[in-house]
């Protein structure tokens, strides 16, 4: 039914289905009760939070940690990755170490971060940077190394120098990889910013959710979770759009 598809986005259909299931599971069955809010309760609570300045401050703080953490990661990791990628030696010797750090979940660093930095905005930013910097750097370096050898040889035949090869072949080739890394880093920054509050006491939506939970207001806790879902969705949609424009040739 192409006519129907055009008017109702497929994503909306599944969202409605999920909300309905949530509503039913929260109303009947073993999970029903005070500690579990239904979809309608969460939505009502969320609308209530819109009038609460504490909520908006938390949204701002979370975004602040995520955005600054993300931006810092990129500013550090992209040039670092470019440098690492320029020689096969630095790439090979760095890759192992970076891959090692890459897989350490930032959450395990929270105890250390609390000791060293304290539960603050700075801590959220630091954790987001840690979460991303190694992965983005390695991905960037990979893009530089992975430049099509045919392209580079063609350039050498036309007597183009090393600088021109970097400028016109290696960097654009890395751009496609950087774009992928950007998308992952953006959502990871958001997640880490929230976890820093939830587990580490850093300000923002994470801490707010923890507060609501200990206060026994399950509906508000779920409202925060809903907010995070929406923020995450908007972020990744936005990045995908930018990505399509910035590396329009990739995947062709």
Return the residue of 172, 183, 184, 232 that touches another protein, per CB under 8 A: 172
Return the residue of 43, 83, 117, 160 that touches another protein, per CB under 8 A: 160
Q: Give the DSSP letter string of 71-87.
A: HHHHHHHHHHHHHHHHS
Q: Which is nearer to another protein, 53 or 150 (CB)?
A: 150
| 8 A C-beta contact, residue 217 and residue 97 | no
Q: Residue 164, interface with another protein (CB under 8 A)?
A: yes
Q: Which is nearer to another protein, 44 or 176 (CB)?
A: 176
Alpha helices in the chain (DSSP H): 2-7, 10-27, 39-49, 53-86, 88-102, 110-116, 121-145, 149-157, 162-165, 171-200, 205-214, 218-246
Q: How far apart are CA 30 and CA 102, in angstroms?
A: 40
**To the nearest whole angstrom, how small is the minimum distance from the Cβ of residue 152 to another protein?**
10
Q: Which residue has the tokens 């910035």?
A: 246
Q: Which is nearer to another protein, 6 or 245 (CB)?
A: 245
Contacts to another protein from residues 230-249, by CB under 8 A: 247, 249
Return the residue of 4, 12, 108, 158 that touches another protein, per CB under 8 A: 158
Return the residue of 6, 7, 88, 159 that touches another protein, per CB under 8 A: 159
């Amino acid at each position: 039914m192409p006519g129907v598809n055009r008017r109702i986005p497929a994503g909306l259909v599944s969202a409605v289905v999920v909300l309905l299931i949530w509503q039913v599971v929260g109303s009947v069955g073993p999970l029903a009760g005070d500690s579990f809010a239904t979809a309608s309760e969460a939505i009502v609570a969320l609308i209530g939070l819109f009038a609460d300045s504490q909520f908006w401050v938390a949204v701002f703080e979370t975004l602040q940690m995520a955005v600054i953490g993300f931006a810092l990661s990129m500013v550090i990791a992209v040039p670092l990755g470019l440098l690492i990628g320029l020689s096969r030696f630095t790439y090979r010797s760095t890759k192992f170490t970076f891959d090692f750090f890459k897989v350490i979940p930032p959450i395990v660093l929270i105890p250390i971060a609390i000791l060293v930095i304290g539960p603050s905005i700075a801590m959220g930013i630091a954790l987001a940077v840690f979460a991303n910097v190694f992965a983005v750097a390695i991905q960037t370096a990979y893009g530089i190394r992975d430049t099509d050898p045919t392209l580079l040889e063609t350039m050498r035949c036309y007597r183009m120098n090393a600088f021109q090869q970097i400028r016109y072949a290696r960097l654009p080739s890395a751009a496609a990889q950087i774009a992928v890394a950007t998308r992952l880093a953006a959502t990871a920054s958001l997640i880490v910013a929230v976890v820093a509050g939830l587990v580490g006491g850093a300000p923002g939506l994470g801490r707010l959710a923890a507060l609501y939970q200990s206060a026994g207001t399950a509906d508000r806790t779920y409202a925060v979770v809903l907010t995070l879902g929406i923020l995450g969705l908007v972020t990744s949609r936005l990045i995908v759009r930018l990505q399509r424009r910035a590396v329009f040739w990739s995947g062709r």
